[in-house]
Structure 1
């Protein structure tokens, strides 16, 4: 009686890399010169910014046609870049942010800068609760892990209202992580009495993205 052992080839590094890319596990990059707009996009999942800098860390990027004097500072780092990008883009399917001093402020006067962003597309759920309303987030299996939370307004179309001015940011991720992480359900009330008023007179909403992680 003969026994045949079938040899199953192990997946190569190339196969593994292709798998990771197809499933948006690896980081993506958006790099634009000062004055242009960075466009972040996730066909699946939601944006999670991992690194960002508005400034300059080398002499070659975005250097074409520019005088040497505008390339001189290669230690130009705006430490609030990741915070500003996260507030504007985390939890969205797509996001556009201009690389301008008016958004990031000027970390190095006279230097021609660029915006360099690394982000991932993470699987998550999204919930939006209009101001003065209450709702809950929940996991059918697993436990809640908050990925992003903002009480304010990031566009004019969500929870439409005549007082729907955009660009109102108030990160609530630490507050919601404290109250919701590790639970199966979490009740949320979108109100100034809970989160404060980050933009007086603007009709706001609570926007949350979260995942359901394995747990007891």
Structure 2
């Protein structure tokens, strides 16, 4: 049987942890919502074990006694509230760290000791692969496309491979077209669906003689 002191300690630990981060089911797509509170003297750290970050809201100010400080009460400004403009910088990343110095550059209340309250979800990423010479459609059943990464080239020996015909065309796995991301983003970012063509005419030829493919990583987000 637990002693009264142990029970009280466990209860305190649960209350403290719930103030810092909580997770609740948002909808039937298995997305989870996380609320992260970061004090102004700390780095902001967001992370998704699976999927990528999509920040849904952010506030700055003080609404409770989170991030208590030795600052005199008359130097704390609870009326200083703002919606930070930086939170979108983490969208599309599996892990994101904004340092204390970076956060300070966005601070609208430099004289007060407040905290950031960030709400984000971890959403699944999707992949579209188009072999060289082919055309492919991809898109979102709900929301619009947000491009994470794209490359026209080859980074493995198995994708879009025909080893029995010309095995030497799959050996170069360091084939990267530098303008891939910008080209795909210009065409597909914010669209509900997009048609792409994997061709040297579209991306130039980053590695002559290698059989290439267009690999796109993206997620679906709400239309802004």
TM-score (norm 1): 0.51
- On the 8 A contact 1:34/1:100 being kept in 2, the answer is no
Q: How does 1:32-181 map to 2 (within 5 A)?
A: 32-53=38-59, 55-80=60-85, 84-87=86-89, 89-100=90-101, 104-125=105-126, 138-139=137-138, 145-148=144-147, 176-178=188-190, 180-181=191-192
1:168-196 Cα offsets, whole Å, 9 max, x none, are: xx9x9797445x4223x335978xxxxxx
- Structure 1 pair 141/210, CA: closer, same or farther in 2 (3 Å)? closer
Q: Of 193, 196, 204, which residue of structure 2 is paired with 1:186?
A: 196
* Secondary structure in structure 2 of the residue aligned to 1:110: coil
CA-based RMSD:
4.6
- On the 8 A contact 2:25/2:33 being kept in 1, the answer is no
- Alignment match, 1:210: 219
Task: From the CA coordinates, give the structure whose radius of gyration is larger.
Answer: 2
> For 2:143 and 2:56, how far apart are their aligned partners in 1?
21
1:24-64 Cα offsets, whole Å, 9 max, x none, are: 523101111112112211112111010112x3132512123
The ranges of structure 1 where at least 4 consecutive aligned residues each deviate by more than 6 angstroms after the TM superposition are 17-23, 172-175
**Offset, 1:150:** 8.7
- On the 8 A contact 1:150/1:208 being kept in 2, the answer is yes
- On the 8 A contact 2:84/2:106 being kept in 1, the answer is no
- On the 8 A contact 1:59/1:71 being kept in 2, the answer is no
**Offset, 1:138:** 4.9
* Secondary structure in structure 2 of the residue aligned to 1:69: helix
Count residues in correspondence. Answer: 152
- Alignment match, 1:31: 37
TM-score (norm 2): 0.49
- Structure 1 pair 31/142, CA: closer, same or farther in 2 (3 Å)? closer
Instruction: Point out where structure 2 has 5 or more consecutive residues left out of the alignment.
Output: 1-22, 129-134, 151-173, 175-181, 204-215
- On the 8 A contact 1:32/1:99 being kept in 2, the answer is no
